[in-house]
Amino acid sequence: MTTIDVKVLDPRMADQLPAYATPGSAGLDLRACLDQPLELAPGQAALIPTGLAVHIGDPGLAAMLLPRSGLGHKHGIVLGNLVGLIDSDYQGPLMVSCWNRGSAAFTVQPMERIAQMVIVPVVQAAFRRVESFEASDRGTGGFGSTGRG
Ligand SMILES: O=c1ccn([C@H]2C[C@H](O)[C@@H](COP(=O)(O)OP(=O)(O)OP(=O)(O)O)O2)c(=O)[nH]1
Ligand SMILES: [Mg+2]
């Protein structure tokens, strides 16, 4: 198990550090540290604090923020940036852009679980400039070049 430093920015999160809900969970639920309910009109997005800061510290790791499937599918509550990427050297407050992509208003309740965070491995690459690539089977074909279905 990898250990990541976390700061509690909102005292309500002191006994709710990120934790896997089941032994096989990939995601860690993040909560909306709001003082009052926040209504999101259809199409509206809001940046919501999670009450936490994390410092991943290892350039070989990052965190990705993803929607919770129930909120996204049933209520249209996804992320305004579609996916949040947390750099390993970021030390600021962990924020969630909550976007109501649905057609009905949705009220986010204080401390409700609004998104999930996945810790993922990252490969940092160096780029070597070349004039031509070694031939590959695909070559330059893309964007449907192999057919639709
Ligand atoms: O959903 C998110 C996305 C990002 N961040 C934080 C952590 C991340 O490391 C930092 C920068 O994110 P990103 O690089 O995606 O945003 P940017 O618009 O490129 O900002 P910057 O110029 O600061 O890199 O913002 C969050 O708290 N939540
Ligand atoms: Mg950036």
Binding site per annotation, positions: 68-70, 81, 85-87
Class for the domain spanning 8-121? mainly beta
CA–CA separation, 55 and 57 (whole Å): 5
Atom 3 in ligand 1: residue holding the nearest Cα: 84
**Domain edges within the chain:** 8-121
Say yes or no to pLDDT of 103 above 80.
yes
CA–CA separation, 32 and 52 (whole Å): 10
Pocket of ligand 1 contains residue 117 by CB under 6 Å:
no
Residue 149, pLDDT score: 74
Binding site per annotation, positions for substrate: 68-70, 81, 85-87
Atom 2 in ligand 1: residue holding the nearest Cα: 84
Looking at residues 113-122, what average pLDDT do you find? 98
Tens digit of each residue's pLDDT (9 = 90 or more) over 55-65 = 999 999 999 99
pTM of the model: 0.96
Q: What ipTM does this complex have?
A: 0.98
pLDDT category at 41 given cuts 50, 70, 90 is: very high
